[in-house]
Chains A and B, each alone.
Chain A
């Protein structure tokens, strides 16, 4: 509904200008916390402790980052965050596209029942209590010392939406394509990875981004799984733990640098692929 090209009276123009300025002001206000923390991460600790609403550092220092990286284990946290993000992304893309394909193309007994089970567990939410059995299970399987279990749980609890997205997308691809592949001698699986999967590219890009975000941003799950194991913590947990350390005030600069490290990669990825993010959100909400 672009109505920008309609003829407007001066009064209407004035209203639109006023609104634009007001919303621009709101946008700046909204960005303030993000800018405050990123620029603050270059401030000296004594300036941070003094407080105030200033954005620009009085003296620009990089040592917060070197300290966080070397003394506060943030190199390990960053590596773990990437592991969670990329692991969740790869696994989600693979299994959700396969399931979406099967749900769209194959008929089998109890298909509807299985499908509604996926839907049902999307809506059943009993909160954090379900982490307890998963944690105990991981301990039993001796998987509580590796982030692989966190990735598996993230993929398992987040997969439903992505399966529906893939299923909807496969539905739009003509069945004749499958049949042609079959005649050429492709098996069901070959049809998937030679013909269908390459065609899923647009939706795969969206799913990859959203699942990476899910893995990178997750907090409570890795928090529970890394209670006693500092070297497994991702950035989200690491930076929050730092705040709870006894003399928290002394480490403000490291918290600022750590928080910036936790948000900046995500923001950069978002700015590059913002369209995919927004498309993914609406597709997931409307179809899922």
Chain B
């Protein structure tokens, strides 16, 4: 009864993983593979576009986390108070998570449209900008726009995680706080946050690993443009393998994939180490 699962695991996860290492030393375009020794590895370390995409990955992940965690936590705290309308809010804020990232990204390309797009129209009407902004084409703005889309699509998830975390904090603690005369801010920082910290740690771990792996909506929004300004590691790698207009460089892409996985691994390990250190302090 276990065999279908195991079979699928081997074919779809284990096999591709080991396949990766097969072409590390080859130049492989999908049809023929030439042995090139350590060339791919040397190239990886001198590939400025790749290392820029690594930087962009950090820019994207940090930007997304800084926004999405406080916003979703704030929403969760508010919704957990069960005021009138809370349930409606919960349903609305979770709604983007059931929509495909590829489709909501497509929708946002219309929202961000330069010429009389809804966003520019509204901002111009409010006199906040004088000229339309090229949200997805201006190197200054593109990453910020992508982060906004990512926050839009993901905050419902983290909100639900936080709500379930908050529901595990018992009512009596809050009551005794009120009796002791603590105000809302004090209660939040002295009670809610510390009591939430075990779950917060898991949520942060999830948030960090997802943020570093995201690339689907970037493919749709900009496909890395303008001029590679919005390429993250995985969108760059995707284009090396499945590019429509140039021949695929699969061997090189496998080297970069291993590098990317290592980078994410180091960050995850670093986070886990830090989280444990913080445990000792508090």
Real complex partners, A and B?
Answer: yes
Residues of A within 8 A of B (CB): 1-4, 6, 16, 19-20, 23-24, 27, 30-34, 36-37, 40, 50-53, 94-96, 98-99, 101-103, 114, 117-118, 121, 123-134, 136-137, 152-153, 155-157, 159-160, 163, 188-189, 192, 213, 216-220, 224, 227, 235-237, 239-240, 243, 255-256, 259, 262-263, 266-267, 269-271, 274, 277-278, 281-282, 285-286
Cβ A266 vs Cβ B98 within 8 A: yes
From A53, A102, A155, A224, contact of B121 by CB (8 A):
A53
Which residues from chain A contact B78 at a C-beta distance below 8 Å? 19, 23
A-B contact pairs, 20 of them (CB 8 A): A2-B171, A20-B85, A23-B89, A36-B111, A98-B2, A114-B2, A114-B6, A121-B13, A125-B261, A128-B238, A128-B241, A129-B257, A130-B13, A132-B30, A136-B30, A152-B8, A155-B8, A156-B11, A240-B103, A277-B94
Cβ A132 vs Cβ B241 within 8 A: yes
Pick out which of these stretches binds chain A: B41-49, B134-142, B215-223, B273-281.
B215-223
Cβ B234 vs Cβ A128 within 8 A: yes
Q: Give the 6 A-B residue pairs with the shortest CB-CB distance, closest first.
A: A51-B116, A156-B12, A156-B8, A217-B100, A219-B102, A130-B16
Given A129-B20, A220-B219, are A278 and B261 neighbors across the interface (CB < 8 Å)?
no
Cβ A219 vs Cβ B164 within 8 A: no
From B99, B161, B202, B219, contact of A263 by CB (8 A):
B99
Cβ A278 vs Cβ B94 within 8 A: yes
Considering the chains assembled together, what is the distance between the CA atoms of A36 and B4 in angstroms?
A: 43
Given A1-B81, A132-B250, are A278 and B90 neighbors across the interface (CB < 8 Å)?
yes
Cβ A129 vs Cβ B237 within 8 A: yes
Considering the chains assembled together, what is the distance between the CA atoms of A271 and B94 in angstroms?
A: 10
CB distance from A72 to the nearest CB of B (A): 15
Cβ A189 vs Cβ B1 within 8 A: yes
Cβ A285 vs Cβ B81 within 8 A: no
Cβ A127 vs Cβ B257 within 8 A: yes
Cβ A263 vs Cβ B103 within 8 A: yes
CB distance from A95 to the nearest CB of B (A): 4
Number of interface residues of B (CB under 8 A): 93
Pick the most buried of A255, A262, A278: most chain B CB atoms within 10 A of its CB.
Answer: A278
Question: Is residue B260 within 8 Å, beta carbon to beta carbon, of the partner chain?
Answer: yes
Cβ B17 vs Cβ A34 within 8 A: no
Name the residue on B nearest A270 (C-beta): B98
Cβ A239 vs Cβ B5 within 8 A: no
Cβ A271 vs Cβ B171 within 8 A: no
Given A37-B110, A51-B115, A127-B215, are A137 and B100 neighbors across the interface (CB < 8 Å)?
no
Considering the chains assembled together, what is the distance between the CA atoms of A123 and B90 in angstroms?
A: 29
Cβ B160 vs Cβ A216 within 8 A: no
CB distance from B148 to the nearest CB of A (A): 11
Which residues from chain B contact A103 at a C-beta distance below 8 Å? 2
Which residues from chain B contact A157 at a C-beta distance below 8 Å? 12-13
Cβ B1 vs Cβ A134 within 8 A: no
Given A1-B167, A4-B81, A286-B202, are A267 and B106 neighbors across the interface (CB < 8 Å)?
no
Which residues from chain A contact B216 at a C-beta distance below 8 Å? 219-220
Report the tally of A-B residue pairs with Cβ distances under 8 A: 257
Beyond known contacts A271-B91, A278-B90: 9 more, CB 8 A cutoff: A31-B92, A36-B107, A36-B111, A102-B2, A124-B261, A130-B17, A131-B241, A219-B101, A270-B98
Cβ A2 vs Cβ B92 within 8 A: no
Q: Which of B1-39 contact A (CB under 8 A)?
A: 1-2, 4-6, 8-9, 11-17, 19-20, 30
Q: Which of B227-282 contact A (CB under 8 A)?
A: 233-234, 237-238, 241-242, 250, 253-254, 257-258, 260-261, 264
Question: Is residue B113 within 8 Å, beta carbon to beta carbon, of the partner chain?
Answer: yes
Which residues from chain B contact A243 at a C-beta distance below 8 Å? 106, 109
Which residues from chain A contact B111 at a C-beta distance below 8 Å? 32-33, 36
Question: Is residue B93 within 8 Å, beta carbon to beta carbon, of the partner chain?
Answer: yes
Cβ A217 vs Cβ B107 within 8 A: no
Cβ A129 vs Cβ B254 within 8 A: yes
CB distance from B239 to the nearest CB of A (A): 9
Which residues from chain A contact B171 at a C-beta distance below 8 Å? 1-2
Pick the most buried of B9, B106, B209: most chain A CB atoms within 10 A of its CB.
Answer: B106
Question: Is residue B206 within 8 Å, beta carbon to beta carbon, of the partner chain?
Answer: yes
Cβ A51 vs Cβ B113 within 8 A: yes
Which residues from chain B contact A4 at a C-beta distance below 8 Å? 81-84
Q: Which of B56-79 contact A (CB under 8 A)?
A: 75, 78
